[in-house]
């Protein structure tokens, strides 16, 4: 192999290796660019490269059932509900024992490494137990198996507020869909989902990582493939010339 094409070959291999080792596409979804809106069963809200679809744990759910929405923390949107204090922008809410299913718009797999979350109380001004609710994340893999991750959402008397959470080992899992729903807990510490219509949550700043490489990785992959193609053409031409 002569020197110029040896360099092309090495560059091609380097390009392919860098593309394979390129970081996955990470994105923080904060909902601040979205206007306040309701989310009903079967409807979806798009944010970034993701869809947030309304669903329900009730078999008799109707398309008109309200299961969530985008709330503006600075507009006093919560009149009857007890929403998190100190929210300065928009956030995603799950309401009335509703389920919010997260999927990528391109159907690629993804993971979640961190998020901000809070319980949403069913009654404004009420006093809640230390743990008024639990946020459950149920991730669905491509083989249809699932894995659970629970986050206790604390309260301090009448105060509900966002807190930041890391998902730990759950972040290493790749999902094609991720369902979010809440358990409502009483003063005795018993928690219920899909029974009281009071399982409600707020989430923001979702750290989502998809299995789609960054744009630069695709460019590097293309350079590598072109280099290998050029090398193969030259190699075949050299073989023909030797035979002739």
d(CA 184, CA 119): 9
- Assess whether pLDDT exceeds 60 at residue 239: no
Q: Check residue 73 and give its pLDDT.
A: 83
242 vs 25, higher pLDDT: 25
Q: Are residues 77 and 13 in the same domain?
A: no
- Cβ neighbourhood burial of 75 (10 Å; 0-12, 13-18, 19+): exposed
User: What pLDDT does 85 receive?
Assistant: 83
Who contacts 90 (Cβ-Cβ below 8 Å, separation ≥6)?
Answer: 30, 31, 32, 33, 34, 35, 36, 70, 71, 72, 73
Tell me how many domains the chain contains. Answer: 2
Regarding whether 223 and 168 lie in a shared domain, the answer is no
pLDDT at 104 over 90: yes
What whole-number distance in Å separates Cα of residue 77 and Cα of residue 84? 11
Asked if 50 and 162 sit in the same domain, the reply is: yes
pLDDT of residue 238: 47
| Region of poorest pLDDT, from 69-73, 137-141, 170-174 | 69-73
Residues 13 and 102 in one domain: no
| 162 and 68 part of one domain | yes
Assess whether 94 and 205 both reside in one domain: yes
Eight-class DSSP state of 159: B
Same domain assignment for residues 204 and 222: no
Within this chain, do residues 123 and 79 fall inside the same structural domain, yes or no?
yes
At residue 226, the pLDDT reads 59
> Which CATH number belongs to the domain containing residue 203 in this structure?
2.60.120.1350
Range of the domain at 222: 3-19+217-243
**CB neighbours of residue 69 within 10 Å:** 24
Instruction: Give the pLDDT of residue 86.
Output: 72
| pLDDT at residue number 88 | 75
Give yes or no: residues 110 and 168 share one domain. Answer: yes
Shared domain check, 123 and 231 = no
Shared domain for 96 and 69, answered yes or no, is yes
Residues 7-37 pLDDT 10s: 434 544 444 444 445 457 899 999 999 999 9
| Between 39 and 159, residue with greater pLDDT | 39
Mean pLDDT of the 140-159 span: 94
Split at pLDDT 50, 70, 90, the class of 119 is very high
pLDDT reported for residue 233: 55
Average pLDDT over residues 196-224: 76
Is a pLDDT exceeding 60 seen at residue 235?
no
Q: Output the average pLDDT for the chain.
A: 84
Provide the percentage of residues in the chain whose pLDDT is more than 90. 67
Q: How far apart are CA 172 and CA 209, in angstroms?
A: 10
Residues 75 and 181 in one domain: yes
Question: Does the pLDDT at position 138 exceed 90?
Answer: yes
Extended beta strands in the chain, E state: 24-29, 37-40, 44-47, 50-56, 66-72, 90-94, 98-104, 110-119, 133-140, 146-153, 163-166, 177-185, 191-192, 201-213
């Amino acid at each position: 192999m002569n020197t110029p094409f040896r360099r092309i070959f090495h560059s091609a291999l380097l390009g392919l290796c860098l593309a394979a080792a390129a970081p996955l596409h990470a994105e923080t979804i904060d909902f601040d660019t979205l206007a306040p809106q309701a989310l009903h069963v079967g409807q979806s809200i798009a944010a970034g490269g993701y869809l947030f679809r309304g669903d329900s744990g009730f078999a008799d759910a109707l398309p008109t059932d309200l299961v969530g929405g985008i709330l503006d923390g600075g507009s006093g949107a919560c009149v009857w509900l007890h929403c998190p204090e100190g929210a300065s922008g928009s956030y995603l809410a799950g309401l009335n024992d509703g389920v919010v299913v997260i999927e990528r718009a391109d159907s690629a797999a993804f993971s979640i490494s961190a998020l901000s979350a809070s319980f949403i109380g069913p009654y404004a001004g009420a006093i809640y137990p230390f743990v008024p609710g639990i946020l459950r994340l149920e991730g669905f893999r491509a083989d249809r198996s699932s894995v659970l991750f629970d986050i206790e959402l604390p309260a301090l008397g009448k105060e509900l507020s966002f807190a930041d959470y890391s998902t730990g080992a759950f972040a290493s899992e790749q999902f094609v869909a991720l369902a979010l729903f809440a358990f409502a807990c009483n003063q005795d510490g018993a928690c219920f989902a899909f029974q009281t219509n009071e399982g409600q949550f707020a989430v923001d700043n979702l750290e989502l990582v998809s299995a789609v490489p960054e744009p630069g990785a695709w460019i590097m992959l293309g350079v590598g493939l072109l280099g290998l193609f050029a090398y193969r053409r030259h190699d075949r031409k050299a073989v023909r010339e030797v035979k002739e």
